[in-house]
Amino acid sequence: MDMKYDILLFDADNTILDFDKSEEQALRQAFDECSLPFGANTLPTYRKNNIRQWQLFEQGIIEKSQVLVNRFAETFAELNLPSEKVDRASALYEEYLHYGYYTVAYAEEVLEELGKNCRLFIVSNGVKSIQDSRMKGSGLGKYFIKRFVSEEVGFPKPQKGFFDYCFERISDFDKSRAFIIGDSLTSDIQGGVNAEIDTCWFNPNHIVNSSDIMPNYEIDDLRQLTSIVNGNK
């Protein structure tokens, strides 16, 4: 079958794995075990700080290890929580995230279908041990030939070095046949632009794109990928 794209690079969190659900569950468990209050502002405050810290990592300003601590330190400061519990809450959260096996709607059926004619890869900035555990527990890991995680690669998405590393390790790689799918404009879509491959923004919540980062495609349902890959969209 003549496909438009047959080398598919998938982000993991909030593209095929439901990270939001896993994140909330892990945070609640960590706070409960640390005897910390979990109020209406807890999750939004944490998410705001988490996103900002990951963006600093994407820009090469801080290391991943700093992300994992800073997001909690900033959240605790804003919520007036005891700073001496930051390290324990962070460690517990990381541990509980390993067991967040929730998947995005239709992820498995779409991966199974696409895997018949395409080679599938994961490209992620996430923590490797967490990604490995969630991929295995969710049952999605079997659909991917290889998973490229920034802590092994040595560069974060969206840096070109990340993608150069990946492309060198994909046999018979052809940029014109490659395609990245992800939920982050700054990481996945900008990464694809930097790597000079086509991009697809997975935007199920219909977030308004107010940036100058323009994906080749935008979808709100993973099932729409089939027609794009086949060249029908």
User: Do the beta carbons of residue 158 and residue 186 sit within 8 Å?
Assistant: yes
DSSP 8-state code for residue 141: G
Q: Where are the beta strands (DSSP E) in 106-216?
A: 119-124, 146-149, 178-182, 198-202
Task: Cite the active site residues.
Answer: 11
DSSP state of 170: S
Helix, strand or coil, per DSSP, at residue 182: strand
The residue whose two tokens read 């940036």 is: 211
Residue partners of 171: CB distance under 8 A and separation at least 6: none
Q: Residue 199: which H helix or E strand, with range?
A: strand 198-202
Q: With the C-alpha atoms ordered 99, 203, 198, 161, is the resulting torsion angle positive or negative?
A: negative
